[in-house]
Copies of this chain bind each other. A is one copy, B any other.
Amino acid sequence: MDPLSSAFSALADPTRRAILARLAEGEATVNEIAEPFDISLPAVSRHLKVLESAGLITRGRDAQWRPCKLEPKALKGVDDWLSFYRRFWDQRFDKMDAYLTRLQKKEKRK
């Protein structure tokens, strides 16, 4: 699957978004991550796997623990995709658009 699709797919699950929110506060082990949820540990483990294959987290090793870490690059990818559409709701980008169009026309006239 392409990186963008797997990122969006991973973010579509509220549990996984909650996990990312937790990791925004700092690294955490699987058990720490699982603690607030009402699902089994294997289920959490699989959510982490999904997040990892989407590039949204990485996992290290510290004795028997597997500390998870937020990996912002994938989120940046989502943001980059989104940036194309920003002009549709953000007036500042609309103005930027108009400015660039004017500039382009000026360029053409030369």
**Contacts from A to B (Cβ < 8 Å):** 2, 4-6, 8-9, 11-14, 17, 20-21, 24, 70, 72-73, 75-76, 78-79, 81-82, 84-86, 88-89
In the bound complex, CA of A14 to CA of B9 (Å) = 11
Residues on the B chain within 8 Å of A20, using CB: 85
Residues on the B chain within 8 Å of A21, using CB: 84
In the bound complex, CA of A29 to CA of B79 (Å) = 28
B14/A11 in contact, CB under 8 A? no
In the bound complex, CA of A85 to CA of B11 (Å) = 13
In the bound complex, CA of A90 to CA of B2 (Å) = 23
Residues on the B chain within 8 Å of A6, using CB: 12
